Amino acid sequence: MRVGLGWVAMALMASGCTAIKATYHVSTADQAVREARSYGAQEHATYEYTMALRYLDESKERLGFDEYRVCEILARKSLEWADKALISLEEGKRIEGAVEIRNEDLPVPLVIPPDGQGPPPMPQPKPPAPPPPVPLPVPAPAPIQFDQWGIPIPIPIPLPQPAPARVPPPPEPTPPPKPDYDFGGDE
């Protein structure tokens, strides 16, 4: 009997496991966002804190609609952004108006030469593309004529003449038949 109750308990836990995990992740993310707020992330890590807060709000909303897997994913993202805000605060890299630019974001990679050499050479611009070809003029359509009721009159379009029919040659005349009677009559 104990084995049967164990299976029932495990089945009940498995059926509610997604909801329990989602709730756990939402509460963990909520604690992380509160911790980031207590360290002043609203003022010094505004972007990271705002992202964490937005993901947390969305995960709470999805939890209310019983979308547990989506809720769990959003709560994890909120937790990541809250951690990023705390890391940013700890490193003290927040400077007002500073923008982080990575080398791969630049249109031309930035090459920094070793000391003692001059600045890197400027990239050469690409030659301009040749102008597109000029289209040939299209003849203007024939003016449309209308009858007294405003209905357009169809303009007869000349149809191509059919090729002359190939007439078979006349049959060769057949020779006249030979008569069966004989005028000599000795027999």
DSSP 64-113: HTT-HHHHHHHHHHHHHHHHHHHHHHHHT---TT-----GGGSSS----P
More confidently predicted of 122 and 89: 89
Enumerate residues 6+ apart whose C-beta is below 8 A from 146.
152, 153
**Burial class of 13 by CB neighbour count within 10 A (0 to 12, 13 to 18, 19+):** exposed
CB 68, CB 18: distance < 8 Å: yes
% helix, strand, coil for the chain, step of 5:
45, 0, 55
Per-residue pLDDT reduced to its tens digit, 13-32? 555 567 888 889 999 999 99
Mean pLDDT of the chain: 76
pTM, rounded to two decimals: 0.44
CA atoms within 13 A on the CB side of 117: 7
